[in-house]
Amino acid sequence: MPDPTGSHPTGSHPTGSQPEAHVRPETSIRRTVDLGVRSRPDPSIRRVGVLAVQGGVREHVDLLASMQVLPVPIRRSADLIGPDGPRVDAMVLPGGESSVLDRLTRALGLTDALSEVIAAGLPTLGTCAGLIMLADRIENPAPGQRSLGGLDVTVDRNAFGAQVVSEEATVETIWGPVRAAFIRAPRVVQLGGATVAARHRGEIVAVTQGNLIGVAFHPELTGDTTVHEQLLKLV
């Protein structure tokens, strides 16, 4: 999974998804958002929050920006909720280390705000660790690990093996084929009220439920916008 800087260790990238080594992730995020703000004459342009405390933030920001959407890094509750409600039209929970994401969102006071907007119907996409964060139940949590909940599923962390067996594959989903990267990916082992959106090697790797989409893979690393387009259709 991506490390806290938004890049990946050597050898962890599927083919064709190497990061630009000369660009610092935080600089890329800041530049993308600044450009988006300056080029946003139409207030109807959709704003999509990206949880920006750890993991693959830059990749989601860059992909969303390429879709003519304004990505908004979310680092504190005030970034997410204002006096009139959510400051964004949709939300992305990126991949990373799910237990670290859990600890950081709690430490930064983001957990309650995220749970509030998700429960209120804010369209939200969780990729890889983001799927774990959205799951109501985690089969093998790290000590003290919690989730935001919302998706009525049980997930198994790191179900597809260690980082050295990462792969890139085309996954047939209910939205069409998606080019996806699997890096220490989870799987859904029990369904409640969620609907299966994709399987890979016989395992459930994508689900939907109301305003939520959870996928076990990384479409942002391959540049495939299919899943993000589905998120925007929920707005």
Catalytic residues: 128, 218, 220
Distance CA 21, CA 37 (A): 25
Give me 23's structure tokens.
């660009």
Distance CA 124, CA 121 (A): 8
- CB distance 212 to 228 below 8 Å: no
φ/ψ bin of 185: left (φ > 0), alpha (ψ from -120 to 50), beta (otherwise): beta
